Amino acid sequence: MDINELIPSFLVIPQDFIIFRSLLVLTFFLHIIFVSLLIGSSLITLYINIISKIIKKDHYPNVAKDLSQKLPFILAFTVNLGVAPYLFLQVILGSFIYTSSIIIATYWLSLIFVIIIAYSLMYLYKSRFDSFPVNSKLFVTIVFSGLLIYTAFIFSGNVNLMLEPDKWVAYFNNDSGTFFDITNPVLYVRVFHFINGSVAIAGLFTGLVWYLKKGKTENYSENIGFGFRIFKHSTYVQIISGISLYFIIPEFAVKNLQSGFYIILTISIITIIAALALIFKERVVEGTIAAGITVFLMVILRDILRFSYLEMFVDERNYEVVKQVSPFMIFISVLLLCSVLMIFITKKAFKEIR
C-alpha cells in the first residue's frame, strides 16, 4: 500500500506556513514549561512523601506544603496554555495528528477523565495537607503522579504515531481506537527524557522559589539546596538520556537533519553548562535564564526533528495559502491581549499562594 494514500489532504492556511510554525514553537515553549513544572513538582512531592513514610518523620515539609499549594494552579495554566500550540499543530500537521488521534482514540479521550481526576486529587491534597496523615498523603500523590505520567505516555505515543504514517495500517486490523504502538523503543526513551527533564525544571523552580523567600522563612537555606540538587542531578541524567534518544531515533530521520540542528544542539549544551555553573556560584537569576534558553532551544530542536521525520510527506509547497489579513490581525491582537492577561493572572495567582 502507498502510505501517501493514508494521509488526508492538507488544509488551506490563511498565512504563510512559517508564521504558523513559528507560533507553534513559541506557544509550545510556554506550554512545556508548565507541563514540566506540573509533572516534576508532582514527582518531587511524591518523593518527599515516600521518604517521610520511610523515616517516619516529615521530610522537607515546607517544600511539600509549598508545592501542594501551587500544583492545582500549575495544572490549570498547563491545560489553558496547551490549547494554542495544539491548534497551531492542527493547522500545519492536522493531516497527521488527527489520524494518529483516531487510531488511539480510546486512550486519547480517556485523558479528559484522567486530568479531571488528577485535578480533583491535587485540590484535595492542597486543602487537607495539614490534616492528612502520611499514608493518605502518599496514596494521593501516588495516584495523581501516576495519572500525569500516564498522560505524558499517551501524548508521546500520539506524537510518535503521528510521525510514522507507515504504522497507520494497523488501523485496518484494529479500528476500535485501542491500538497503541508499545513496541517502539523511542517511546520509552522519549517519555523518560521528558519526565526527567520535568524533574530538573521543577527542582530549579523549587530552588528559585525558596531563594526568593531567602531570610523570610525557616529552613530556606536547606530548601534552596534541596531544589538545586535535584536540578543538578537530573540535568546530568538528562544529558545521558538525550544522547541515548539521539542514537535510538530512526536512521531516516537522523539523515534528514541539517547542520542547523547540530549548531542549535551545541548552543543548548553550552547554555545548560552555563546554567549549572551559575547556579553553583549562587547567581540564581542568571542561571534560571540560561536554563530557560536551553528549554527554548530544545523546543526548536524538537520541531526540527518532527519535520525531519515527515520530510518525505510534508513540504511547504503542499499547502495552499489564501491570505486573510484582517482575521489574522484580529487573531494577533487577541493573542497579545490574552498573553498580557495570562501574565497578570499568573503573577496574581503565585502572589496569592506564595
pTM, two decimal places: 0.91
The pLDDT confidence band at residue 352, using thresholds 50, 70 and 90, is low
Residue 14's pLDDT is what?
A: 84
Domains belonging to the chain, first-starting first, are 8-323 (1.20.1630)
Give the containing element (helix H, strand E) for 278: helix 259-280
Query: How many Å apart are CA 218 and CA 125, to the nearest integer?
Result: 22
Q: What are residue 253's phi and psi, to 5 degrees?
A: -70, -40
Q: What percent of the chain has pLDDT over 70?
A: 96
Position 44, amino acid: I
The pLDDT confidence band at residue 331, using thresholds 50, 70 and 90, is confident
Q: How many CB atoms lie within 10 A of CB 53?
A: 14
Could you tell me the three cell numbers for 36?
514540566
Query: How many Å apart are CA 5 and CA 97, to the nearest integer?
Result: 16
